[in-house]
A and B are shown apart, each in its own frame.
Chain A
């Protein structure tokens, strides 16, 4: 008998009688100001929210606030004129010197300021983690109330890799002192569009 079969046989023998899967938590009150909640949480966890009407405003903001950045990349065609071109197909290690990455999220979640981003929106999986600063664009209509709404929206969508990202990388491992920028981005800006 292989390890696998031995483990599975023991599981089968020892598992208790069937218990049902509970009902969904879909009856929650979601009647609150999603944008305000999202903004409040993201600010609390060290990120920043910028409300914008269009991509020109995003460009203006980036040119003004990030003019010191040497290497800026984006997966958004709308930002091509202010970012590096044809960066997408290199070895992931080559992005180690990216100062700012601007990417799109499918949606955000009001209760925890998490943004759902899958591989095709990152181009390379490592991008939102290896850059020094991360900026994410999300449509105003795509801020959902809770994680239950988030997974209803994801449904059985196909992806190789996806992540909820909420704020900049951080640690409190030294005497519970919160420090931003443990390994990943030191700052996170979210543009709420519309």
Chain B
């Protein structure tokens, strides 16, 4: 998705135009966050689990080369074809060539944030291949011609009435019908026909095991399994950071993933694919797309530990009130804001600033990524590299000048107090963004420095 000329703040303004809707969005996500809390508090060993998961991922990143080689060789031994893609375009070309060789031009796809990141759907459609997203939320946004606004809850920004309208238009449901049970049943019927007739299925990968060459796909709906077990060709797309060392390590991550995402004890289906079924061809595409670069940035590399649970989004006060689309990248929210600048620092220079740095994201992260610290670090990198919003950069320079020179600081304080007292309209106007949502403070008579001089006697 391209933001065009608008940044996160401007796109949030669009989302914020409808205040009732913002409140509804905010409350819905907070409800999911509360469910996560309940699930986490039910496990006395929760903090130990997070620490263990974090350490396993540290080990994976520190030994990624060998784990990738081991995974490839085990997967090949299991009869899976392994491909490597340096970037999104190569990934898309590989998928296309597999489909072309199999003579397939209509496919089903279950949820994969990686394929969103690579813009696979657009690519395949331009090449004459029809893609049907089979996750209900993803199918809804696909019918609406929108990207997902959340990595776990793709259409969390949509009201059921809007979904009813979409289904009326595309699936022929009765006009005005917005009952979730009815709409889900209609989607079930619509998508069953696709599962039965499509010859190739694409899935994402939640975890891949270096020791055994198997990979795990988690869904609640069963759509990944319906697609994969009925198709002649199964293509699984994964980022190179999805590995865990041994099969037994899945226990730690499967305990954390669904509890962090939705508060469920586990997803309905945690499917372990080790070998293609008889007569089926199975492919895995290992994708870099900037991950090796992030691995080489010590301050940001542990963003690669992310297991895509979405907990940081559900808890983020900025995400909840600005909506996923205002982040103009496949992965929104706090984690997306530290992943995106690695791919394109200029295009995503606004995202690390779309945070209050409150740290809630870091506190809920199941693999203990220091998200808010990385957001803060990205801000420094972005300003230093010259990608910051010019107004912001100038304000920061002025601030630095003022704060580093005591005399300037004193004069500036005096001037500020004088302006607020004598010509308040100079700051209480639309040009001052601070004043947009706040009253300017009452003016103190003197600064603390002046008060101190007067009141503290030096013996």
Contacts and interface: CB of A to CB of B under 8 A. Distances in A.
Interface stretch (A49-57, A74-82, A99-107, A176-184): A176-184
Contacts of A124: 229
A181 B187 CA distance: 11
Interface residues of A, number: 72
Given A12-B65, A173-B154, A183 B270 contact: no
Interface in A108-154: 109, 111-114, 119, 124-126, 129-130, 146-148, 150-152, 154
B298 A129 contact: no
Contact of B59 (A21, A119, A162, A176): A21
B240 A7 contact: yes
A25 B251 CA distance: 9
Contacts of A29: 44
Contacts of A86: none
Contacts of A93: 196, 230
A10 B28 contact: no
B317 interface: no
Given A167-B268, A181-B188, A182-B221, A7 B84 contact: yes
A146 B245 CA distance: 20
Given A15-B63, A152-B248, A173-B140, A161 B273 contact: yes
A92 interface: yes
Nearest to A10: B292
Contacts of B191: 183
Contacts of A162: 271-272, 274
Contacts of B62: 15-19
A177 to B, nearest CB: 4
Given A126-B229, A159-B274, A164-B270, A19 B58 contact: yes
Interface string B354-377: 000000000000000000000000
Interface of B: 28, 31-32, 44-45, 48-49, 51-52, 55-56, 58-59, 61-65, 68-69, 72, 84-86, 90, 134-137, 140, 153-156, 159-160, 163, 180-181, 183-185, 187-188, 191-192, 195-196, 212, 220-223, 225-226, 229-230, 240, 245, 247-248, 250-252, 254-255, 262, 264-277, 286, 288, 292-293, 295-296, 298, 301
Chain B binding surface SS class = helix
11 contacts: A3-B85, A18-B63, A24-B248, A125-B277, A147-B255, A160-B274, A161-B274, A163-B271, A166-B268, A169-B222, A182-B223
A177 B265 contact: no
Contacts of B240: 7, 11
Given A19-B62, A114-B266, A126-B229, A10 B288 contact: yes
A146 to B, nearest CB: 7
Contacts of A183: 134, 188, 191-192, 195, 221-223, 226
A4 B65 CA distance: 11
A33 to B, nearest CB: 15
Nearest to B48: A25
Nearest to B87: A3
A114 B270 contact: yes
A51 to B, nearest CB: 21
Interface of A: 2-4, 6-8, 10-22, 24-25, 28-29, 41, 45, 92-93, 96, 109, 111-114, 119, 124-126, 129-130, 146-148, 150-152, 154, 156, 159-177, 179, 181-185
A3 B226 contact: no
A7 B288 contact: yes
A161 B188 CA distance: 25
Contacts of A172: 153, 220, 262
A126 B226 contact: yes
B266 A112 contact: yes
A170 to B, nearest CB: 5
B225 A113 contact: no
B265 A19 contact: no
Given A21-B55, A25-B252, A147-B254, A11 B222 contact: no
A165 to B, nearest CB: 6
B277 to A, nearest CB: 6
B251 A150 contact: yes
Contacts of B276: 160
A169 B268 contact: yes
A152 B156 CA distance: 38
A7 B286 contact: yes
Interface centre among A29, A150, A175 (most CB of B within 10 A): A175
